């Protein structure tokens, strides 16, 4: 899969660009409103004043004739203070006012025009901009009234410039910020992609980079790393199990083969029969190993979680104890059950029965310290708060503190118990069935011996 390195195609950049557009649009809206209410208002006020003056002068012309109009225009022109007047006769000759001639461009009646004017006397005369309105009066007279709008235009330019820079700067800063943010984001995504590549190439110990910022990318990397650790653990477990399985199969198969070969060489019907009987026995053992492995795999897959049913563990305890009682009696030991109905859990009856089987089997095997001291086993079932507790205790050799975690692993057998049959899968099944049932297993010193304590959540109608 090709890596897309374009910053402009990152979601961060796109987001920044969209955000920038929205921001620029709203800023332009606000600034436009400010412009309209300041510069626009002043310009409208000037135009309204000019308009009102024109109307007033036109009235004077109508009432007092040319003489009255000329008189007013002359008076006003003297102390104008920024006001501009020009009255022309029918032959375009200037009659009154403080402007020398009609500005060029005035060809139509009733129009607004901007024109330059000279303010002050030489040598300090300066050019200003004026805005005016021109009307044609009756009998061919032309009247122009205007105002010096130089300051207004300067103010308008300042505001326009400010708006231009504000919008321009926000665009530049926004784009730059988006670019840097995206580059940073892209760099981190590239680092994650690189780490993924390494892991895919076979380095299962590789992990996603974590920047320490504790942001969403770090959280994503964190969960991916947890997942990778889990996968690595499972892979290691699988490797170990397959090598253990191979090893555990090899010995009985070699033994079986040697025995059959030996029997064939003897050429004797009785030898054949014995060899076949022993082969069947070996096969049964192998099948038991496979069944135990399959049960563990089944419990660990977690798929059975949906199929768990409410049940009373008391019934299971009673059944398993009944099964083992004759064996314990026969050996001269004892097997005591101390429980009452009501050990309700949500579980798989068969797997839980297998768990109890394994624990009592262990207690029978390892609870016996010497040939003349058979095992005394105690099985307890009780409810404490919201937990169902099952205990299986013996008075045998026990398990040292440092081995208690280890014996839960697959194919783990302690040196002291090598003389007893078994392949080290019993407690692994117990542990995985406990995980399936959201329960716990704890190994304790029974002084002497081992006390295995199982804790399962109590099933109530509400749960």
Q: Catalog residues that contact Mg ion under the rule CB under 5 A.
A: 362, 426
Judged by CB under 6 A, the stretch of 22-30, 197-205, 337-345, 419-427 that binds ligand ATP is 419-427
- Provide CB contacts within 8 A for 277, sequence distance 6+: none
- Residue 398 binding partner per list ligand ATP, Mg ion, none, with a CB distance cut-off of 5 to 8 Å that depends on partner kind: ligand ATP
Judged by CB under 6 A, the stretch of 222-230, 326-334, 343-351, 394-402 that binds ligand ATP is 394-402
- Residue 364 binding partner per list Mg ion, ligand ATP, none, with a CB distance cut-off of 5 to 8 Å that depends on partner kind: none
Closer residue to ligand ATP, CB minimum distance, 308 or 441: 441
The DSSP element (H or E) to which 143 belongs, if any, is strand 142-148
What DSSP string runs through 181-213?
A: HHHHHHHHHHHHHHHHHHHHTT-TT------SS
The Cα–Cα gap between 113 and 131 comes to: 6
- Residue 191 binding partner per list Mg ion, ligand ATP, none, with a CB distance cut-off of 5 to 8 Å that depends on partner kind: none
Residue 125: DSSP 8-state: -
Any contact of residue 417 with ligand ATP (CB under 6 A)?
Answer: yes
Positive/negative CA dihedral, 365, 366, 372, 373: negative
Please give the residues from 444 up to 463 whose contact with ligand ATP meets the rule CB under 6 A. Answer: 450
Any contact of residue 407 with ligand ATP (CB under 6 A)?
Answer: yes
Distances (CA, A) of 233 to 204, 239, 294, 423: 10, 10, 19, 22
For the bound state, the minimum distance from the C-beta of residue 426 to ligand ATP, rounded and expressed in Å, comes to: 2
Contact between residue 429 and residue 355 where contact means Cβ atoms under 8 Å apart: yes
Tell me how long the chain is.
463
Strand 376-384: give its sheet, edge to edge: 334-339, 376-384, 387-393, 450-457, 440-445
Any contact of residue 358 with ligand ATP (CB under 6 A)?
Answer: yes
Judged by CB under 6 A, the stretch of 19-27, 186-194, 275-283, 414-422 that binds ligand ATP is 414-422
Nearest to Mg ion by Cβ — which residue? 426
Any contact of residue 422 with ligand ATP (CB under 6 A)?
Answer: yes
Any contact of residue 54 with ligand ATP (CB under 6 A)?
Answer: no
The Cα–Cα gap between 343 and 1 comes to: 55
Any contact of residue 426 with ligand ATP (CB under 6 A)?
Answer: yes
- Provide CB contacts within 8 A for 259, sequence distance 6+: 275, 278, 279
Closer residue to ligand ATP, CB minimum distance, 195 or 241: 241
Q: Which residues bind ligand ATP (CB under 6 A)?
A: 358, 362-363, 366-367, 394, 396-399, 407, 412-414, 417, 422-428, 450
């Amino acid at each position: 899969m090709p890596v897309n390195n374009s910053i402009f195609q990152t979601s961060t950049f796109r987001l920044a660009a969209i955000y920038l557009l929205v921001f620029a649009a709203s800023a332009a809206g606000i600034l436009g409103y400010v412009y309209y209410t300041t510069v626009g208002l002043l310009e409208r006020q000037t135009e309204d004043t000019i308009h009102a003056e024109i109307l007033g002068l036109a009235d004077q012309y109508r009432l007092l004739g040319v003489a009255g109009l000329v008189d007013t225009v002359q008076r006003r022109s003297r102390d104008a203070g920024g006001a501009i007047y020009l009255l022309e006769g029918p032959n375009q000759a200037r009659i009154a006012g403080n402007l020398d001639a009609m500005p060029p461009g005035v060809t139509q009646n009733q129009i607004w025009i901007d024109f330059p004017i000279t303010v002050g006397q030489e040598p300090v005369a300066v050019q200003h901009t004026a805005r005016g309105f021109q009307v044609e009066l009756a009998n061919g007279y032309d009247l122009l009234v205007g105002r010096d709008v130089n300051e207004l235009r300067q103010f308008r330019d300042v505001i326009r410039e400010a708006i231009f820079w504000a919008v321009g700067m926000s665009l530049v800063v926004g784009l730059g910020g988006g670019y840097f943010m995206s580059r940073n984001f892209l760099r981190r995504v590239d680092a994650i992609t690189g780490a993924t590549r390494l892991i895919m190439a076979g380095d299962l110990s590789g992990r996603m980079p974590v920047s320490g910022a504790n942001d969403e990318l770090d959280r994503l990397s964190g969960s991916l790393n947890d997942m990778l650790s889990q996968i690595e653990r499972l892979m290691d477990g699988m490797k170990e199990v397959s090598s253990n399985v191979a090893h555990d199969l090899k010995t009985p198969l070699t033994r079986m083969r040697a025995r059959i070969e030996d029997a064939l060489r003897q050429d004797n019907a009785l030898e054949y029969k014995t060899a076949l009987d022993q082969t069947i026995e070996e096969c049964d053992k192998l099948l038991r190993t496979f069944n135990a492995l399959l049960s563990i795999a089944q419990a660990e897959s977690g798929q059975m979680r949906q199929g768990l049913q409410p049940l009373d563990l008391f019934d299971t305890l009673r059944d398993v104890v009944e099964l083992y009682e004759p064996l314990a009696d026969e050996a001269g030991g004892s097997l005591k059950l101390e429980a009452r109905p009501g050990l309700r859990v949500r579980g798989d009856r068969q797997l839980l029965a297998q768990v109890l089987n394994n624990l009592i089997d262990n207690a029978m095997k390892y609870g016996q310290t010497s040939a003349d001291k058979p095992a005394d086993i105690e099985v307890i079932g009780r409810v404490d708060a919201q937990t169902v507790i099952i205990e299986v205790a013996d008075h045998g050799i026990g398990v040292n503190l440092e081995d208690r975690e280890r014996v839960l692993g697959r194919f783990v057998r302690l040196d002291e118990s090598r003389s007893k049959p078994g392949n080290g899968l019993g407690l692994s099944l117990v542990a995985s069935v406990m995980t399936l049932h959201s329960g716990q297993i704890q190994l304790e010193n029974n002084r002497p011996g081992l006390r295995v304590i199982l804790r399962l959540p109590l099933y109530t109608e509400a749960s």
